[in-house]
Chain A
Amino acid sequence: MTKVKTGIGRRSFIKSVSIAGGGLIIGFNWMACKKATEEGGKEMAMQMPDEWFELNGYLKIGDNGVVTIYSPNPEIGQNVKTSMPMIVAEELDVDWNNVIVEQAPLNTDIFTRQLAGGSQSIRQGWESLRTAGATARQMLLTAAANQWEVPVSELSVENGIIKHANSENSMGYGEIAKAAAQVEVPEEVELKDNDSFKIIGTSRKNVDAKKIVTGQPLYGIDVDKEGMLIAMMVQPPAFGMQLKTMNAEKIKEMPGIVDVFTIDTYPEDMEKEWSDVTAFSKLAVIVGESTWQVMKAKKALEIEWELKPDLVEQIQILEKSAAMEDTSGLESSKLHASLMAEIGSKKAEVVRKDGDPEKAFKNAARVIERSYTCPFLAHNCMEPMNFYANVSGGKAELLGPIQTPEYAEKSVNKRLGLALEDIDVQMTRMGGGFGRRLYGNFLVEAAVISDKLGKPVKLIYTREDDMSNGVYRPAYHVAYRAALDGNNKLTALHVNAGGIPESPLFANRFPAGAIDNYLAESWTLESNISVGAFRAPRSNFIAGAEQSFLDELAEEMGQDPIQFRLDMLKRAETDPVGENNDYDAARYAGVLELVRDKSGWSNGSSSLSRGVSAYYCHNSYVAQILDMSVKNNQPLIDKVTCAVDCGIVVNPDAAKNMVEGGTIDGIGHALYSEITFEDGVPQQHNFDTYRLIRHSEAPKKIDVHFVENGIDPTGLGEPPFPPIMGALANALYKATGQRFYDQPYINQLNGKQTELKT
């Protein structure tokens, strides 16, 4: 057993005591003020208790033994609403069938890091979730021991039943919960050994599944409140433009339309949070009684747009960096392509240097040089951006899909001048996140609209709004150079990576540490197109590029691509080059060996074209082998084998689902998806022009294997996404004889020039 301090459990308890001392038992006031939000799926069949007893901010126990566990982090489809409460339930020692799960609202007094991002929910919540369960268990045992007048050490507990071995006394948690709530919170509790886990490591169904398959309201877009109006916005058609005038008065006369006005979401003097990203602060807004009436008014609204005044500066930046004569400042993909190719071939900021790469390249018998690109991408959560806001009487009620509730609350605090305690943020289940809902501009917009109207509103983006709103995955470019000596041995590697407007470089990741002479350079290009984190930011490009280049190198050197990587990883493990290498070479090699063995790589029996890839990000290791063929220029993906090291797997079947999904998502984006620009206008606005992978294009089969090592859990939502792009490119090469350097790969298969290539 591991002893841990109960810091988090105590903090919430202390708050409760101090406020109770003032005469009010509102330590868990967020529960008291909780509206009828979405509970777990199981409680319908469960007998509800007459009374609940709160043992700490994570859970309450009913007088009949039913337990409610609050899932602190936003649920975007990564299944934390099931897996986080599983961790609490494990240490609480309760029967999972007696557990109800509820989404906790934002409460920074009780919970730390209520954020869905960076694949960190389970990793960073691991200890506090366990501690919350163990603390409550300890309090229940103490209360039982007091009642029976026996030492706690003589008690045991299983599935929420406490037993005293000597007297054969037993009781359920429900019977002692009231007394346990009065027990002082222990300063230290013991956590279970991994080998005694009964819930962690066993597959449990999604707690919302029944509601999902029966179409019950769960999502922000489903919110319906008394007196609620529907709001939509109109944003400029191009990045670099802004609203000049509109025919608001005429539109106000349309049926069902309540008001038409403009808002400035983020005035220039407002101090913004990192999550306040938008290219379009000034918006036209239409408010009405029903969605269709507002949509019709939106179409009828005539707006004159103008170039943004600050565009002049933007143009200068672009002109200076590219010496272009005819840049309008309304950017185009052709301009981006020429700028990236030009700058990507020049010296840039040196981020890491090991050995003497210049000398190694000078003495090289052969230099292999390749460059790779990828386009902007829209997140395309299937649930378009939306939020419910009711701002009135100095208070704000905000309800909807947001990955960063804490930052959103701060933004509303600054924008509307409301006190933080008067802003109530509650999270709905989200129809996808993928990073888009880290940036809560739509939440702030809803709050500003509600504040202006003095009425509750639900702001909804159309798909076209959603896809044209920016916050895109950046466009990237990377050039690799490898030096080979006369014996065909790799002597130096040079990576020069950049993008619009950020670089995808991770200078300290593999293959850094495995090569004597290594040079990593980085550059960026400014843009007025807004960008944001997109599932596995930066890794979602550089992994595929790097793994494609290593594949080509292995071939040039006459080596097996897996053995080539394993040899490099052996070097990094036993005799690492340089400092700050940001990966564990043995775990990296572990997933490659596992995927090699599980896929039958070595026996060479597959008649299909195979590609391999492996990558480390978000503290986890993933290796994938993809088997495919190409017929009539159409890719047919037969099978993907995945090996994953993310430490302890909390909910194995759900984890497999996540790996399967990440794999399909990665294949889809690398093959099919892109946002391109002409004169600042995104050329794809909906799914008729923007391609997401569809059923018939998905792999027929995906095998997922987890490394079992008992290490505390690490990320899983993102890690399966980046490497598959490399495995796909490498398999495409085997199938076609052509290397694929530019995403989306379908363009090359179709013989179409990729916009980002000059």
Chain B
Amino acid sequence: MAEFSLTINGKKQSLDLDPDTPLLWVLRDHLKLVGTKYGCGIAQCGACTVHFNGSAVRSCQLPVSSAAGNEITTIEGLSENGDHPVQKAWLEHDVPQCGYCQAGQIMSASALLNRNPNPSDSEIENAMNGNICRCGTYTRIKAAIKTASDSQLA
């Protein structure tokens, strides 16, 4: 066990944990931020995607020791009132079916738009290829990303 200082959604907090504890379980078990989902545990499905200094990472593969001292944003911290352009676009297109993977999809999409405000179809596909949706909402996700992109550029 060791003491780690984490900045999650702009809030600093200290936790006493095994250094190898993945950020995913720190968020879910210890900080009760359950919007970040467990899907595979091996960085293959993207359900656990969070922002690490603004970039999309899989929190199931990020030990708390590496997360410490960096800016972490989860779905709960993406916007104050659920009104991030990507969230708004998701609501407009009524994207979710079961909804379980959607937080991870939204975090990947918002990280993409952070670095590339006007992505092409293939850039969207490349950025989103690590996020699996068994319900098959892919075409709506792509449409929502384009809407969010348009609204940010407008």
Query: What is A's interface to B at a CB cutoff of 8 Å?
Result: 76-79, 203, 205-206, 208-210, 212-219, 221-222, 224, 230, 255, 290-293, 295, 380-384, 429-434, 460, 462-463, 653-654, 657-658, 660-665, 668, 686-688, 692-696, 698-702
Complex Cα distance A702/B141, Å?
13
B47, CB-defined interface residue at 8 Å: yes
Which parts of B27-58 form the interface with A (CB within 8 Å)? 28-30, 32-42, 44-45, 47
A660, B139: Cβ atoms closer than 8 Å:
yes
Q: Which of B22, B130, B141 contacts A292 (CB 8 A)?
A: B22
Helix, strand, loop or mixed for chain A's interface?
A: loop
A659 to chain B, nearest CB (A): 10
Number of interface residues of B (CB under 8 A): 63
A214, B35: Cβ atoms closer than 8 Å:
yes
A residues near B79, Cβ cutoff 8 Å: 214
B residues near A687, Cβ cutoff 8 Å: 39-40, 42, 44-45, 132
Which parts of B95-137 form the interface with A (CB within 8 Å)? 95-103, 106, 121-122, 124-126, 128-137
A73 to chain B, nearest CB (A): 14
Complex Cα distance A693/B133, Å?
8
Known: A209-B90, A431-B37, A695-B124. A292 touches B21 (CB 8 A): yes
Complex Cα distance A47/B39, Å?
37
Which residue on A lies nearest to B87, using beta carbons?
A: A213
A residues near B102, Cβ cutoff 8 Å: 212-213
A215, B91: Cβ atoms closer than 8 Å:
no
Closest 5 CB pairs of A and B: A215-B35, A431-B100, A77-B98, A664-B136, A215-B75
Q: Which of B36, B75, B96, B132 contacts A206 (CB 8 A)?
A: B96
Known: A429-B99, A432-B134, A664-B139. A383 touches B37 (CB 8 A): yes
Q: Which of A433, A654, A702 contacts B94 (CB 8 A)?
A: A654
A77, B99: Cβ atoms closer than 8 Å:
yes
A residues near B134, Cβ cutoff 8 Å: 380-382, 432, 434, 665, 692
Complex Cα distance A663/B124, Å?
21
B126, A693: Cβ atoms closer than 8 Å:
no
Contact count A vs B, C-beta below 8 Å: 188
A-B contact pairs, 11 of them (CB 8 A): A214-B75, A215-B36, A290-B29, A291-B28, A381-B100, A383-B37, A432-B100, A463-B39, A664-B139, A695-B125, A696-B126
Which parts of B11-36 form the interface with A (CB within 8 Å)? 18, 20-22, 25, 28-30, 32-36
B71, CB-defined interface residue at 8 Å: no
Q: Which of A209, A381, A383, A660 contacts B136 (CB 8 A)?
A: A660
Complex Cα distance A78/B97, Å?
6
Complex Cα distance A447/B22, Å?
28
A382, B44: Cβ atoms closer than 8 Å:
no
B4, CB-defined interface residue at 8 Å: no
A residues near B136, Cβ cutoff 8 Å: 660-665, 668, 693, 698
Q: Which of B25, B33, B38, B45 contacts A215 (CB 8 A)?
A: B33
B residues near A668, Cβ cutoff 8 Å: 136
B136 to chain A, nearest CB (A): 3
Complex Cα distance A215/B96, Å?
12
B residues near A205, Cβ cutoff 8 Å: 91, 94
A219, B35: Cβ atoms closer than 8 Å:
no
Complex Cα distance A700/B125, Å?
10
Which residue on A lies nearest to B125, using beta carbons?
A: A696
Helix, strand, loop or mixed for chain B's interface?
A: loop
Which residue on B lies nearest to A701, using beta carbons?
A: B139
B88 to chain A, nearest CB (A): 9
B68 to chain A, nearest CB (A): 16
B47, A382: Cβ atoms closer than 8 Å:
yes
A661, B75: Cβ atoms closer than 8 Å:
no
B residues near A692, Cβ cutoff 8 Å: 132, 134
Complex Cα distance A462/B129, Å?
22
B139, A218: Cβ atoms closer than 8 Å:
no
Known: A431-B100, A654-B94. A688 touches B42 (CB 8 A): yes
Q: Which of A218, A255, A383, A657 contacts B137 (CB 8 A)?
A: A657
Which residue on A lies nearest to B90, using beta carbons?
A: A213
Complex Cα distance A693/B132, Å?
7
B82, CB-defined interface residue at 8 Å: yes
A209, B76: Cβ atoms closer than 8 Å:
no
Complex Cα distance A696/B136, Å?
12
Complex Cα distance A433/B132, Å?
15
B residues near A431, Cβ cutoff 8 Å: 37, 98-101
Complex Cα distance A217/B33, Å?
8
B93 to chain A, nearest CB (A): 9
A residues near B94, Cβ cutoff 8 Å: 203, 205-206, 209, 653-654, 657
Complex Cα distance A657/B38, Å?
24
B12 to chain A, nearest CB (A): 20
B residues near A218, Cβ cutoff 8 Å: 99
B75, A383: Cβ atoms closer than 8 Å:
no
Complex Cα distance A700/B122, Å?
11
A369 to chain B, nearest CB (A): 34
B18, A292: Cβ atoms closer than 8 Å:
yes
A698, B138: Cβ atoms closer than 8 Å:
yes
B residues near A657, Cβ cutoff 8 Å: 94-95, 97, 137, 140
A686, B42: Cβ atoms closer than 8 Å:
yes
A residues near B47, Cβ cutoff 8 Å: 382
Known: A382-B47, A463-B41. A694 touches B22 (CB 8 A): no
B residues near A434, Cβ cutoff 8 Å: 134
Complex Cα distance A112/B16, Å?
49
B96, A292: Cβ atoms closer than 8 Å:
no
B residues near A255, Cβ cutoff 8 Å: 1, 18
B residues near A76, Cβ cutoff 8 Å: 98
Complex Cα distance A206/B139, Å?
17
Complex Cα distance A98/B90, Å?
23
Which residue on B lies nearest to A384, using beta carbons?
A: B38
B29, A291: Cβ atoms closer than 8 Å:
yes
16 new A-B contacts at CB < 8 Å, known A290-B30, A686-B44, A694-B129? A77-B98, A212-B99, A219-B37, A221-B38, A291-B28, A292-B18, A381-B98, A382-B45, A383-B100, A430-B98, A660-B136, A687-B45, A694-B130, A696-B122, A698-B138, A701-B139
B37, A221: Cβ atoms closer than 8 Å:
yes
B139 to chain A, nearest CB (A): 6
B73 to chain A, nearest CB (A): 11
Q: Which of B42, B96, B142 contacts A695 (CB 8 A)?
A: B142
Q: Which of B21, B44, B82, B98 contacts A688 (CB 8 A)?
A: B44
A77, B91: Cβ atoms closer than 8 Å:
no
B98, A215: Cβ atoms closer than 8 Å:
no
Which residue on A lies nearest to B135, using beta carbons?
A: A661
B46 to chain A, nearest CB (A): 10
B residues near A214, Cβ cutoff 8 Å: 35, 75-76, 78-79, 82, 87
A residues near B32, Cβ cutoff 8 Å: 224
Complex Cα distance A224/B33, Å?
11
Q: Which of A290, A380, A381, A701 contacts B25 (CB 8 A)?
A: A290
A85 to chain B, nearest CB (A): 16
Complex Cα distance A255/B87, Å?
39
Which residue on A lies nearest to B88, using beta carbons?
A: A213
Q: Which of A222, A382, A383, A701 contacts B132 (CB 8 A)?
A: A382
A687 to chain B, nearest CB (A): 4
Complex Cα distance A657/B138, Å?
10
B59, CB-defined interface residue at 8 Å: no
B74, CB-defined interface residue at 8 Å: yes
Complex Cα distance A206/B98, Å?
10
A residues near B98, Cβ cutoff 8 Å: 76-77, 381-383, 429-433
Complex Cα distance A84/B90, Å?
22
B102 to chain A, nearest CB (A): 5
A300 to chain B, nearest CB (A): 13
Which residue on B lies nearest to A293, using beta carbons?
A: B18
Known: A463-B39, A668-B136, A694-B132. A213 touches B18 (CB 8 A): no
